[in-house]
């Protein structure tokens, strides 16, 4: 809003004096334009790997008045469904992206008007935005005749560079004593090149004869790998199902992890005492997975390099916290809720925290710090009866542990006596840039000692 300015201004004169200036002649002043406050609600980046989001539902409909901090829309990111709040007071004038559709991060998904009077302006703006996206200006026809009475524009003359030579051409001209002013240039805009000077001096270069191509190999080698961008034709009779947002994120992460040089180490251990401890504490909500997480966390504190991570390919960092992510299979995707500071919590607090995370994961309500802060990952398919498997290393972590099922096995002790014990096989996939075989072997030895004598887990 423009401020009022008095026609009489105080004009400084000699020190200590002031006088009133006579009213100046009226001048035309620019009127202050008060623009309507129409704000855009953008698609937020809910995680570091999110490139687009899907609108699950709008909690605020068109015409609803909302206040700063109110949730207006539920967005499905690559990991969870999250409420998105508005940063301003106003009226939801237009929803640009309806429920069920996707939009890239940073794209406007709705318009927020400050008052009722500006709702119509917001709708007009939304219509202009939709027309701008659907219509592209067509180029003028090449054979269109010029408008009568309007002369065609004069051709733009190329800059004259006669007599201008490249530095190397000047050097060659000096060596062969050629007057560069008399050389006709063939370079851009008549610039004299070294080849022009050599031609004026009568220097001819012998053409290099290319060597003959090598003979084709006798045996036909394997077919070259198919480029990543190639799209295979669909299988006849099959049904094409597009990835969900979570599946697309898992696909990207798995492809990214293939660029990391990894290696795998397996280790078997006896779980009789761990199974006995589980029978004692399962009534209190402690699962076998929680016991394994605690055992891994204690072992990681003794082998911090296995808890380290390399993110830029040039250095690695020792992580101060032991945050263990646990792979969880969900309908249409995979998540790794993170048990932060797992080494500092007892098994009962870990179990309580794990139940909360598991519930939020299944409801797709995890916050970003609850799934992207892991420093080590554990995947337990042993609960499904899987004996052994290899896990793919998550991007940004140093190692992931794949836990198989405990099986009754005939085992010989150091005295040669045979007995039947429960044995479990663990495979660890590690980043070979920061973790070496001896590091991983020492970590697995410590982990096995804890599993085979788990009384320390209850302390």
3-class DSSP state of 170: helix
Residue 379 burial (CB count, 10 A): 25
**Catalytic hit among 88, 176, 189, 432:** 432
Cβ–Cβ under 8 Å, residues 125 and 133: no
Question: Distance between CA 282 and CA 302 in Å, rounded?
Answer: 27
Calculate the alpha carbon distances from 305 to 68, 267, 439, 443, 451 in Å: 45, 19, 8, 9, 21
Cα(56)–Cα(142) distance, integer angstroms:
47
Q: At what angle do helices 347-362 and 288-302 cross, to 10 degrees?
A: 120
Q: How far is CA 314 from the centre of its chain?
A: 19
Helix (H, G, I), strand (E, B) or coil at 407: strand
SS3 for 348-393 is: HHHHHHHHHHHHHHHCCCCCHHHCCCCCEEEEECHHHCCCCCCCCC
Q: How far apart are CA 291 and CA 282, in angstroms?
A: 10
Tell which phi-psi region holds residue 161, choosing left (phi > 0), alpha (psi between -120 and 50) or beta: alpha
- Please give the structure tokens belonging to residue 412: 């010989």
Q: Please state, in angstroms and rounded to a whole number, the distance separating the CA atoms of residues 61 and 282.
A: 47
205 is annotated as an active-site residue: no
β-partners of residue 421 are: 409
* Closest residue by Cα to residue 270 from 125, 55, 454, 118: 454
For residues 146 and 64, what is the distance between their CA atoms, to the nearest angstrom? 53
CB 85 within 8 A of CB 69: yes
Catalytic site residues?
Answer: 432
């Amino acid at each position: 809003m423009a401020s009022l300015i008095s026609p009489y201004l105080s004009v400084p004169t000699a020190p200590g004096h002031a006088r009133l200036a006579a009213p100046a002649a009226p001048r035309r002043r620019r009127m202050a334009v008060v623009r309507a406050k129409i704000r855009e609600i953008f698609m937020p980046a809910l995680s570091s790997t999110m490139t687009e989001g899907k609108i699950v539902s709008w909690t605020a409909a068109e015409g609803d008045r909302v206040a700063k901090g109110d949730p207006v829309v539920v967005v499905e990111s690559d990991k969870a469904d999250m409420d998105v709040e508005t940063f301003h007071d106003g009226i939801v004038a237009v929803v640009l992206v309806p429920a069920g559709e996707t939009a890239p991060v940073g794209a406007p998904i709705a318009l927020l008007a400050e008052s009722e009077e500006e709702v119509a302006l917001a709708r007009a703006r939304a219509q202009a935005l939709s027309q701008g996206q659907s219509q592209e200006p067509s180029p003028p026809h090449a054979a269109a005749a010029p408008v009568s009475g309007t002369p065609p524009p004069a051709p733009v003359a190329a800059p004259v560079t006669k007599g201008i030579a490249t530095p190397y051409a000047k050097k060659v001209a000096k060596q062969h004593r050629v007057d560069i002013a008399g050389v006709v240039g063939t370079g851009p805009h008549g610039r004299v090149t070294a080849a022009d000077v050599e031609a004026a001096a009568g220097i001819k270069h012998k053409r290099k004869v290319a060597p003959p191509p090598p003979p084709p190999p006798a045996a036909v080698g394997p077919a070259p790998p198919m480029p990543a961008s190639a799209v295979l034709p669909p299988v006849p009779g099959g049904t094409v199902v597009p990835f969900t947002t979570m599946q697309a994120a898992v696909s990207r992460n798995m492809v990214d992890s293939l660029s990391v040089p990894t290696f795998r180490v397996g280790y078997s251990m006896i779980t009789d005492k761990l199974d006995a401890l589980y029978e004692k504490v399962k009534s209190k909500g402690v699962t076998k997975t929680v016991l394994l997480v605690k055992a891994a966390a204690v072992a990681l504190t003794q082998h911090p390099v296995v808890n380290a991570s390399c993110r830029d390919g040039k250095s690695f960092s020792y992580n101060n916290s032991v945050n263990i992510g646990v792979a969880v299979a969900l309908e249409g995707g995979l998540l790794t809720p993170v048990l932060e500071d797992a080494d500092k919590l007892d098994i009962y607090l870990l179990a309580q925290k794990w139940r909360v995370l598991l519930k939020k994961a299944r409801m797709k309500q995890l916050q970003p710090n609850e799934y992207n802060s892991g420093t080590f990952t554990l995947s337990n398919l042993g609960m499904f009866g899987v004996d052994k498997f290899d896990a793919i290393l998550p991007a940004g972590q140093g190692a992931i542990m794949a836990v198989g099922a405990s099986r009754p096995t005939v085992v010989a002790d150091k005295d040669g006596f045979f007995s039947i014990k429960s044995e479990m096989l663990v495979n660890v996939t590690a980043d070979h840039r920061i973790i070496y075989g001896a590091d991983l072997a020492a970590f697995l030895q410590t982990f096995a000692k804890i599993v085979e004598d788990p009384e320390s887990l209850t302390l």
